[in-house]
Amino acid sequence: MARKKVSIWVFAVVILAILLLCCVVYICVAKYKQERNDALFSSFQSGAQYGYESAVKQIMQSASNCQKTNVYVGNVTIQLIDVSCVK
Q: What's the whole-number mean pLDDT along residues 13-39?
A: 96
Q: Tell me the average pLDDT across 50-66.
A: 85
Residue pLDDT, tens place only, 68-79: 888 888 898 888
Rg (CA), the chain: 32
Please state the rounded mean pLDDT for residues 24-51.
95
* Burial class (CB within 10 angstroms; exposed 0-12, middle 13-18, buried 19+) of 83: exposed
The structural domains of the chain, with segments of one domain joined by +, span: 2-85
Segment among 1-10, 49-58, 69-78 with least mean pLDDT: 1-10
